[in-house]
Structure 1
Amino acid sequence: MDLDLRKLRYFVAVAEELHFGRAADRLHIAQPVLSRQIRALEDELGAQLFVRTKRSTEPTPAGRQLLDDARPLLAAADATRRRVTRAARGAKTFTIGFMPGLTVTDAVQAFRASHPGIEVELLRTTWDDQIDVLHDGRADVSIVRLPIDQAGLTVRPLFEEPRVAMLPAAHRLAGKPALDITDLADEHLLQDPDAVPEWRDIAVELRTRTARPVPVMRSVEEKLEHVAAGRGVAIIPLSVAAFYRRPDVVAIPVDNLGPNTVCLAWVATRRSRLLHEFAALATTADWTQRRTR
């Protein structure tokens, strides 16, 4: 029995929304149709995927396992479709993803000079999608900031840069020339604590880690708006702080905070000659062009 990708997409929508009505709206189909498709998928797999009551819809252990497997499978299918469509059109493009604060000019210009017949496209990414653009085929390579899930990827380090603490300009610590990570232990961190293990470990040790939720933020601009409003602090790479400089927030070095590692990544199963040629250029590129002041 072959898995039906359409039914998998329907399943993922229900598993993410945890509500058949909202999932049906998201998919632009009628709810009874969605329910029939999920039942058909359960029959094909021989497993119940959801426990459904009047008040809630929750995935079963089989449903949670299918969700873990379905997301990369659907991303790979999307990537295949994009690449086949591009090949059918005869388009000779090479797309490079890059994170905020990074200047990719040197590597891109070198690649364009050696491949004048290739159209190079640039795709700005975020913390949320910097590897998604690889798995779903939107980008051929991506210049990423660690940590990332490296499963299924080839990852090559490019350089490291310091990270700084972003504080409101009126913050009690804003006038200090440098901070110790313990200075921030009782602050509300506006990002996943696992992305700043130095803060996470100190906060746990001192029992000051806050249980307040972190707002959903999809850009550096949003994060800095929250900092400026006094809702918390953020740890970001120095080049990002320089690029998004503004008068109502300050960037302060943190002495015992590890650097951010910037890497080049691509899907490990791809064998494109262009990938490896760009990788060679990127590892020897002049990354001093990035803004650090």
Structure 2
Amino acid sequence: MDIDLRKLRYFVAVAEELHFGRAAERLFVAQPALSRQVRALEEDLGVQLSRRDRRGTVLPPAGAQLLDDAVSLLAASAAMVRRVAAAAGEKPVFTIGFMPGITVTPAVRMLKARHSSLSVRLLRTGWSDQVEVLRDGRADVSIIRLPVDQSGLHVQPLFTESRLAVLPIDHPLAGRSAVTVLDLADDHLLQDPDAVPEWRDVARELRTGERDDVPALHSVEEKLELVAAGAGICVLPLSTAAFYTRPDVVAVPVDGIGPSRVCLAWVATHRSRFIQDFVDVSPSLAPTA
């Protein structure tokens, strides 16, 4: 079965807005035309994708699943068109994903020096999507922090840097010049414990089963807000902690925690002169002493 991407775009707008009127305004189409396209997609798939109740538009399980898949499919479609145009030499665009705290400017300048007509775009990523932006086509390369699922990717190490514990300013350890992992055993970590296995191995809240669920945090700013409010601590790479400074938190070196490993990644099957040239200039991404 062939899926009409226009119908898919219309459905995504409805699913994200949960309101046909707002979705129609977003797409600059008439609401009856939008409704017809969504109904046509439902007929194509043989399932109900949305329904209206007293609260408005809601997604049944099939609609929620399609939304999850459709966003990446539409992004991949747009990326395919972009890569084909770039391969043909028409309006080449190169998109670089990067994690917070990493300075991309030196490598971008060197790449532009080689390809003056190339349009370079930057895409800030987070732990949850730093490799997904490669798989769904939003980025050509991504500067990532390990660990990640490396399946289907080529991953090239770039550099390592130490990690620091970020504490509220009134934390008992805030005045220390350094702490150990054991010093943090009684603290609540505002991250996936697997991201800091050294803490995970000694944490009291994991040993006693008292750990509360940590909501999904999509940015460094969210983590720092919670740290400042006394909700817990977090562990950040040195460059990230240095970039996101604020007066109500303090970053302290931690003895016994492994470094952050920064790598360059791209989809292993993708070939382009721009990727290879960016690989060549990527050593400039390493921070200078």
Same fold (TM over 0.5): yes
Q: Which moved more, 1:249-258 or 1:169-178?
A: 249-258
In the aligned structure 1, how far is the partner of 2:19 from the partner of 2:257? 42
Contact 1:103–1:287 (CA under 8 A) maintained in structure 2: yes
Which amino acid letter does the alignment assign opposite residue 209 of structure 1? R
2:213 equivalent among 200, 211, 214: 211
Q: 2:72 matched to 1:72? A: yes
Q: Would the alpha carbon gap of residues 4 and 286 (structure 1) be closer, same or farther in structure 2, given more than 3 Å must change?
A: closer
Query: Partner of 1:2 in structure 2?
Result: 2
Q: Which residues of 2 match residues 47-196 of structure 1 at below 5 A? A: 47-50=47-50, 53-55=53-55, 57-60=58-61, 62-84=62-84, 90-92=90-92, 94-104=94-104, 107-108=107-108, 111=111, 115=114, 117=116, 119=118, 121=120, 123=122, 125-127=124-126, 130-131=130-131, 133-134=133-134, 139-148=139-148, 150=150, 152-176=152-176, 177-180=178-181, 183=184, 185-187=186-188, 189=190, 191-192=191-192, 195-196=195-196
Contact 1:79–1:135 (CA under 8 A) maintained in structure 2: no
In the aligned structure 2, how far is the partner of 1:149 from the partner of 1:12? 27
Contact 1:15–1:59 (CA under 8 A) maintained in structure 2: no
Q: How many correspondences in the alignment? A: 284
CA displacement 1:15-36 (0-9 Å, x = unmatched)? 4455556655554555554443
SS of the residue corresponding to residue 257 of structure 1 reads coil
Which amino acid letter does the alignment assign opposite residue 59 of structure 1? P
Q: State the superposition RMSD in angstroms.
A: 3.7
Contact 1:158–1:263 (CA under 8 A) maintained in structure 2: yes
SS of the residue corresponding to residue 102 of structure 2 reads coil
Contact 1:186–1:209 (CA under 8 A) maintained in structure 2: no
Contact 1:96–1:140 (CA under 8 A) maintained in structure 2: yes
Which amino acid letter does the alignment assign opposite residue 178 of structure 1? V
Which amino acid letter does the alignment assign opposite residue 58 of structure 2? T
In the aligned structure 1, how far is the partner of 2:231 from the partner of 2:106? 37
In the aligned structure 2, how far is the partner of 1:47 from the partner of 1:30? 24
Q: Would the alpha carbon gap of residues 170 and 142 (structure 1) be closer, same or farther in structure 2, given more than 3 Å must change?
A: same
In the aligned structure 2, how far is the partner of 1:145 from the partner of 1:275? 19
Q: Which residues of 2 match residues 224-239 of structure 1 at below 5 A? A: 224-239=224-239
Give the structure-2-normalised TM-score. 0.76
Tell me the CA shift for residue 73 of structure 1: 1.5
SS of the residue corresponding to residue 252 of structure 2 reads strand
Q: Would the alpha carbon gap of residues 267 and 173 (structure 1) be closer, same or farther in structure 2, given more than 3 Å must change?
A: same
Q: Which moved more, 1:74-83 or 1:95-104?
A: 95-104
Q: Percent identity?
A: 58
Gaps of 5+ in 2: none
In the aligned structure 2, how far is the partner of 1:181 from the partner of 1:23? 52
Q: Would the alpha carbon gap of residues 19 and 173 (structure 1) be closer, same or farther in structure 2, given more than 3 Å must change?
A: farther
Gaps of 5+ in 1: none
In the aligned structure 2, how far is the partner of 1:116 from the partner of 1:49? 45
SS of the residue corresponding to residue 289 of structure 1 reads coil
Q: Would the alpha carbon gap of residues 143 and 257 (structure 1) be closer, same or farther in structure 2, given more than 3 Å must change?
A: same
